[in-house]
Amino acid sequence: MSPEQGNEERTEQATPKRLSEARDKGQVAKSTDLIGAMGFFGVFLAFAATAGGFVSQTLAYLMRSLSTFGDPALLQGGYGQLFGGALTMYASLVWPVLLAALVIGVAANLMQVGFIWSMDPIKPELSRLDPLAGLGRMFSMRALFDLIKALVKLLLVGWAAYSGVQGELDSLLQVGFAEGTAAIVLVGRVLWTLALRVGLVYVLIGTVDFLYQRYEHSKNLRMSRHEVKEEHKQMEGDPQVRAKQKERQRLLATRRMFSDIPKATVVITNPTHYAVALKYEEASGGAPVVVAKGSDYLAQRIIAAAKAAKVPIMPQPEVARALYAKVDLGREIPIELYRLVAEVLAAVFSRKGGL
């Protein structure tokens, strides 16, 4: 590659092959902020759903503990049983919250990039151990941008939390004058409002970050025109790609051929090994055209399609073999076959006239 080609501006969108290779290496557009925001909301909603049970069970446990705190049997056996019961209770209350965070975090990841299995991101690379390269990454424009982005996120989340607390100052001041249950309900309402504000801001940050990550990913994978041309040449030279292209072309030609059978004038058969469908338009002044042909299994399919479309079928082995061997699909019949085909068409038209 010449220096001019190496320095060519990358203006072209990444090809499907380039995108697939990047995905195989684990290089995808993904926002950890969006995953964190969805996980936060998962914890928030799960905790809100279980908060009533959490508070009631905690109060019941405290009342039970205080009532038995001076029990001689409890003193003799130690407080291990009491604390063990507390751990069991809190574990049963916390696991739904943690499970919700895990499930929603995984779901947010799958929604962004789908399922990917790649070991490339964790493969050891000597370049990562280079101290000079590490310093370069630390003081690069990318690092500066990430620092500014982190500060902006911190300020936005801090603003959401501060404004939420400021709006509930009067309620918080009333907590000291409220009774136990009323105080818990009041604090719960304040925490709900605060978490909702912070969560919405966090989701907004994550959404913006995801859109930016997609833009950055697309930009990093852009290609020069020379790279696109080289990739196209490589793809054309690949035997597997050529085979797939030929198979695709064959399937398209077969579909088109079967769609033309209902328009045929007659299907001439061997009668089992060959089938050739001809279309003749007297007004056009041209010779009959082969619109479908096939042997063995394909011939049987052509015959079946002709029967379904009520196209006349004429068993003429000699004519069928000659047409199959000498005339390509979509071509007019040659002059040497005019007489034989004319006899077949005359029989078809006379049969139609008799009907």
Tens digit of pLDDT for each residue in 323-341? 999 999 889 999 999 999 9
* Residue 47, φ and ψ in degrees, nearest 5: -65, -40
Least confident of 135-139, 170-174, 197-201, 250-254: 135-139
pLDDT level of residue 68 (50, 70, 90 thresholds): low
Q: Determine how many CB atoms are found less than 10 A away from the CB of residue 23.
A: 14
pLDDT level of residue 266 (50, 70, 90 thresholds): very high
Task: Write down the pLDDT at residue 44.
Answer: 81
- b/e map 50-70, b = 16+ CB within 10 Å: bbeebbeeeeeeeeeeeeeee
Chain centroid to CA 291: 40
Q: Determine how many CB atoms are found less than 10 A away from the CB of residue 189.
A: 12
Structure letter (DSSP) for residue 13: P
In this prediction, residues 85-110 reach a mean pLDDT of: 79
Task: Write down the pLDDT at residue 332.
Answer: 93
Nearest-10 Cα torsion for 196, 201, 202, 207: 130
Selected residue with higher pLDDT from 272 and 177: 272
Q: Determine how many CB atoms are found less than 10 A away from the CB of residue 164.
A: 19
Task: Write down the pLDDT at residue 237.
Answer: 61
Domains and CATH numbers, the chain: 28-220 (no CATH), 260-354 (3.40.1690.10)
Query: Is 78 strand, coil or helix?
Result: coil
Selected residue with higher pLDDT from 296 and 19: 296
Average pLDDT of every residue of the chain: 79
Selected residue with higher pLDDT from 207 and 92: 207
CA dist 329 and 334 (Å) reads: 13
